[in-house]
Amino acid sequence: MLELKKTPEHTIDRVFLLALLALFAATTFLVVSIGAKQYHSIADSMSAKKKKQSNSPLRVIIILVLLGLLAYKHQLFDGKLLENIPTIESNEEKPEILTSPQHDGALEIPMIQSSTGGQILKRKGYTLSYNADYKTPQWVAWELTKKETKGKEGRTNKFLPDPDVRGAKAYTGDYTKSGYDRGHMAPAADMKWNKQAMEESFYMSNICPQNPNLNRGDWNDLEEKSRQWAKKYGAVYIACGPIYDTKRPKRIGNNKVAVPHAFYKVILINDKKNPQAIGFIFPNSAGHKPLKKYMVTVDSVEKRTDIDFFPALPDEIENRIEAELVQELP
């Protein structure tokens, strides 16, 4: 809806302006009319005396127009007249945009609340914090947009040790005959939009030992659901990783890769009208259950992992949506 912005009233100036514009229009009409008559007079070879007489009113009108224009110019450029002309402004409400004043605007990047933060590795399609002791990530975070879900890049299925990891790292052979899948944290299917992103999703720093039934079942179901939300809402922000309930977890392979007790995933649906943050915790075991059975508040995931998720959100929004338990999947 449009409304006039209120300014101080100067009625005399406005009346003068309207009168001046009316005079200008009238004199312009007269000039054109008289000019046409003058043309016909010349064409008909009227006497010089008569032509001179007909020029007299034309001169008067032209002088009046010039005087009016001078007066208008004086008022216009004096600034007083323009100050009093009402301006039109729109009071249409713009939707609230969830901004992220921290982390360079990356809503998905979490924050380790303790001093155990690992090596940060930024990839084409995701960012992760790497735990060199467990040889698994602490968290992996990425934004998934609607456009990215339409990518056509094929899976490489080429698992590689991460060339940028400092110190001890996992190798694909550590998982051989272990009974665990090489479970993606940032899934390859989310990286179809770019060849480099797809290749880097197979770095072992993005992989955890995962129960095969979980990896190919309920965990995969949530990955599919996340892509559906990205298509529906335009973008989602995701962070996930392993949960270790003890300091001495089971290890596999020559490089002693730690086996998680569970996995978490938190998803921010940044809908401007109704933002939602949904938490999930999956035991690292077999199970074919509805995703609703794994749903928890993001606050409860934070307490179990000692990680602060979505810290770039305004505090009042973050506190509210992370404390809410979503009753039904969007």
> For residue range 98-140, what is the model confidence (pLDDT) as tens digits?
444 444 568 999 998 666 678 999 999 999 999 999 999 999 9
- Closest CA relative to residue 170, chosen from 195, 203, 196: 203
The more confident residue out of 91 and 107 is 107
* Listed range (77-81, 204-208, 240-244, 319-323) with the worst mean pLDDT: 77-81
Q: Which residues fall within 8 angstroms of residue 166, CB to CB, at 6 or more apart?
A: 119, 132
State the Cα–Cα distance between residues 141 and 304, nearest whole angstrom. Answer: 18
Q: Which pLDDT does position 79 carry in this prediction?
A: 42
Structure tokens at 319: 């506190």
pLDDT at 36 over 70: no
Q: Which pLDDT does position 112 carry in this prediction?
A: 82
pLDDT at 24 over 80: no
Catalytic residues: 184
Counting Cα atoms < 13 Å in the Cβ hemisphere of 300 gives 13
Q: Which pLDDT does position 186 carry in this prediction?
A: 98
Residue 53, number of CB atoms within 10 A of its CB: 11
SS3 content of the chain, % helix, strand, coil (to 5): 40, 20, 40
pLDDT band at 17 (very low <50, low <70, confident <90, very high): low
State the Cα–Cα distance between residues 234 and 122, nearest whole angstrom. Answer: 23
Q: Which pLDDT does position 78 carry in this prediction?
A: 44
Superfamily classification of domain 103-323: Extracellular Endonuclease, subunit A (3.40.570.10)
Report yes or no: 292 and 279 within 8 Å, Cβ to Cβ: no
Rounded to two decimals, the pTM is: 0.69
pLDDT band at 273 (very low <50, low <70, confident <90, very high): confident
pLDDT band at 248 (very low <50, low <70, confident <90, very high): very high
pLDDT band at 223 (very low <50, low <70, confident <90, very high): very high
Residue 145's DSSP bridge partners are 235
- Give the CA angle between residues 163, 169, 170 to the nearest 5°: 105
Over residues 226-237, the mean pLDDT reads 96
